[in-house]
Structure 1
Amino acid sequence: MSQAPDRAVCVAFDGDSVLVIARQQDGRAYCVLPGGGVEPGETPEVAVLRELAEETGLIGTVKRLLWTVEHHDRRAHYFLVAVEPGSLDLGGPEASVQSSMNAHTPTWLPLGLLEAEGLQPASMRERLRAVTSEAT
């Protein structure tokens, strides 16, 4: 059985807000950090910037690796990314599957709303709060 490809995940801040993808899926509302699978021949650093552009329309620069974490037997690399100002615009594969039952909406979420908006995985909530002061 082959292992799932690594994931590259973007952690970007604007003041006291973090960039997320708000999700509506089969009646469930939650949010995730922008990111996705590392493609063959791609480094996690390249993948995180590609995923950022696809999912939000923003351009970024990797500042540093924050964490590498195992989520359900899949390794995820979390990068602190500085993003250039711009409007949020969903693209990539997520844009092609938008529906009332499966919506992706890039947005800036105040850190105080991480629990209320159901940021997943939940283990990232405290980590984000801990790193925000360094990022702003």
Structure 2
Amino acid sequence: MGNVPRAGVIMVENGCVAAIERVRSGRRYHVLPGGQLEPGEDYPHAAVREAAEELGVDVRIDGLVAVVRFRGREQHYFLARSTGGTFGTGDGPEMGSPVDSDSGSYRAVWLPTDSLLTADLRPRPLAERLQKCASRSSFEALLAGPLVIHEHPADL
């Protein structure tokens, strides 16, 4: 893993945010869809590819929402809109991982925007910002300027 940069998407539809439900070591939490950049790939292209692999949808990137620095690597999250595909049909290598494996299970889900914090969506500072924008019904406000988050392992 090391310092490989990561990219992810934030998709909001019908009052819900697309997320990946993780069950690992007996714990259930949620993360935004995303993953590592491949050689020669930039952040936006990686985010588009990861949305297809994890969610089963094609997306258009609207803009950068957040940069998270965690354990020596950067993660860029982009506001994205679905342009095709079928949600929940992602076939990336991790999507078939069983609950009892070392990496745990992955499942694409829609989280209501008013439950992002109780659903343990990570990273938490980004979940807080998303929930705040949802209460104002203005996700375009996410594009006003990227949130920069410095997370530490204890923040998990």
Alignment TM-score > 0.5, same fold:
yes
Aligned-pair distance for 1:130? Answer: 4.1
- Report the 3-state secondary structure (helix = DSSP H, G, I; strand = E; otherwise coil) of the residue aligned with 1:94: helix
Aligned amino acid, residue 134 of structure 1: F
Q: Deviations over 1:78-130 (max 9, x none)?
A: 1010113533113111124x213221110110011112211112111122134
**Whole-Å Cα distance in 1 between the matches of residues 23 and 35 of structure 2?**
18
When the two structures are aligned, how many residues end up with a matched partner? 134
Q: Is the 8 A contact 1:17 1:111 kept in 2?
A: yes
Change in CA separation of 1:75 and 1:52 when aligned onto 2, cut-off 3 Å: same
Task: Please give the root-mean-square deviation of Cα atoms over the aligned residues, in Å.
Answer: 2.0
Aligned residue for 1:59? 58
Q: Identify the structure with bigger relative contact order (alpha carbons < 8 Å, sequence gap 6+).
A: 1
**Whole-Å Cα distance in 2 between the matches of residues 83 and 107 of structure 1?**
15
**Whole-Å Cα distance in 1 between the matches of residues 28 and 2 of structure 2?**
28
Q: Give unmatched runs, 5+ long, in structure 2.
A: 141-156
Aligned residue for 1:15? 14
**Whole-Å Cα distance in 2 between the matches of residues 119 and 14 of structure 1?**
16
Change in CA separation of 1:122 and 1:38 when aligned onto 2, cut-off 3 Å: same
Q: Is the 8 A contact 2:66 2:126 kept in 1?
A: no
**Whole-Å Cα distance in 2 between the matches of residues 64 and 131 of structure 1?**
16
Aligned residue for 2:34? 35
Q: Give unmatched runs, 5+ long, in structure 1.
A: none
TM-score normalised per structure 1? 0.89
Aligned residue for 1:117? 119
Q: Which runs of 4+ in 1 moved over 4 A?
A: none
TM-score normalised per structure 2? 0.78
1:134 aligned to 2:139? yes
**Whole-Å Cα distance in 1 between the matches of residues 54 and 6 of structure 2?**
14
